[in-house]
Amino acid sequence: MSTTAMFPPGQKLPNDQFTGDAFLSPLVSRDKNNDFTVGSLIYEPKTRSYWHSHPKGQILIILEGEGLYQEKGKPIRTLKKGDVVIAPENTPHWHGASATNKMVDIAITNYKGDDQATWLQPVTDEEYDSVQ
């Protein structure tokens, strides 16, 4: 995988949470001072997360490429370098790369107790392709 990303690609994420190839490089771990994690993610073209939600929300900062973001029941939003997404708490959503470009982002994800995310069903090709 070739990338000009600021951070290394990291570990491939599991295919029970992502369709395609996504890679995570952890940057900040939860500790006594921080009740959140920060990671850099690389999504190869057509790669996207499953539908999921976060009990205390999530922030995505797009560093490179072109991506997509959708909250359940709302239109798909196209993302580009410099965009910031605030996923509200307990709101099912998905995000990932466009069909022709990879996307690199920083994800800041809060905890509520020991919970950080609830993973739901995959984003279907029909849902994903509805933006094209």
Give the model's pLDDT for residue 5: 58
For the entire predicted model, the pTM comes to 0.91
Q: How many whole angstroms separate alpha carbon 101 and alpha carbon 115?
A: 31
- Element spanning 127, H or E: helix 125-129
Give the model's pLDDT for residue 9: 81
Q: How many whole angstroms separate alpha carbon 102 and alpha carbon 82?
A: 15
**β-strands 36-43, 52-53 pairing:** unpaired
Domain boundaries, the chain: 11-129
Whether residue 50 contacts residue 19, with contact meaning beta carbons closer than 8 Å, is answered with yes
Q: What is the pLDDT along the chain (132 residues), one digit of tens a residue?
A: 444 558 888 899 989 999 999 999 999 999 999 999 999 999 999 999 999 999 999 999 999 999 999 999 999 999 999 999 999 999 999 999 999 999 999 999 999 999 999 999 999 999 999 875
- Determine the topology of domain 11-129 in CATH: Jelly Rolls (2.60.120)
Q: How many whole angstroms separate alpha carbon 95 and alpha carbon 93?
A: 7
